[in-house]
């Protein structure tokens, strides 16, 4: 895997770093996941589009760092990292819990007129932010319950979850992620003044159709909802190219 972490330091990985990009797709992974889940997307876009992914503390190369348990702190950091980037047309996309982080980072970026070149927000596989937590309480977060929760979502081979070393690395970040979700409270700020595109998996066991459709209330500009076959990790399935094409289309660039 080739990735670069220039300009925005540890927060952004590029797959790979483009020499002269004209647009950027920035992705935020969900609970227990790493930036690497978006690496295959770089092969689905043209050479002028840079695919970047947010690497959160406690994951991947940042495994030794303490996970963050408040979404406002993560959103501040992601927004700050993106403000340091060249002013290219940018679509921000978040999957699952990453949808909330991306949403709050987008709020910060649009509040700063010179802060970014954000053109649209894409979110997937999470209930609308005003609906509250979907997660497990800290009291319920036993290792057995957490592993069962991950298994129920799909996307991770059960054989990997039975590996003691993988479980040791996964569980602290997953506990922190569930606390992020549980403690999050959506403010009553005005709807986002940029296009909001929402994606859901038809057989997602974690999010219902009305919960996905409720994102409409956060859209102050164009809104679009698109359903894909598949579960919580539909974005890694056979239709991922169609999803990437949708997101790239928001940049106004061919993919």
Mind telling me the catalytic residues? Answer: 96
244 CB contacts (<8 Å, ≥6 apart)?
Answer: 25, 41, 44, 45, 255
Helices 143-153 & 164-183, crossing angle to 10 degrees?
80
The two tokens of residue 155 are: 């996307």
120 CB contacts (<8 Å, ≥6 apart)?
Answer: 91, 92, 194, 195, 196, 197, 250, 251
């Amino acid at each position: 895997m080739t990735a670069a972490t220039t300009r925005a330091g540890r927060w952004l990985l590029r797959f790979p770093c483009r020499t002269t990009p004209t647009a950027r797709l920035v992705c935020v992974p969900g609970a227990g996941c790493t930036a690497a889940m978006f690496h295959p997307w770089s092969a689905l876009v043209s050479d002028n589009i840079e695919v970047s992914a947010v690497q959160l503390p406690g994951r991947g190369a940042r495994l030794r760092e303490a996970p963050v348990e408040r979404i406002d702190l993560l959103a501040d950091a992601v927004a700050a990292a993106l403000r340091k980037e060249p002013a290219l047309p940018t679509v921000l996309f978040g999957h699952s819990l990453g949808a909330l982080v991306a949403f709050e980072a987008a709020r910060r970026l649009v509040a700063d007129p010179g802060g970014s070149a954000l053109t649209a927000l894409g979110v997937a596989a999470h209930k609308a932010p005003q609906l509250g937590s979907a997660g497990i309480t800290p009291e319920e977060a036993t290792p057995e319950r957490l592993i069962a929760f991950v298994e129920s979502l799909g996307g991770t081979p059960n054989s990997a979850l039975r590996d003691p070393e993988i479980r040791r690395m996964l569980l602290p970040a997953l506990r922190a992620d569930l606390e992020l979700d549980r403690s999050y409270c959506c403010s009553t700020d005005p709807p986002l003044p940029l296009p909001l595109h929402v994606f859901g998996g038809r057989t997602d066991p974690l999010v219902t159709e009305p919960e996905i459709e409720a994102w409409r209330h956060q859209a102050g500009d164009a809104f679009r909802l698109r359903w894909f076959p598949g579960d919580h990790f539909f974005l890694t399935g056979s239709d991922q190219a169609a999803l990437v094409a949708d997101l790239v289309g928001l940049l106004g660039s061919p993919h």
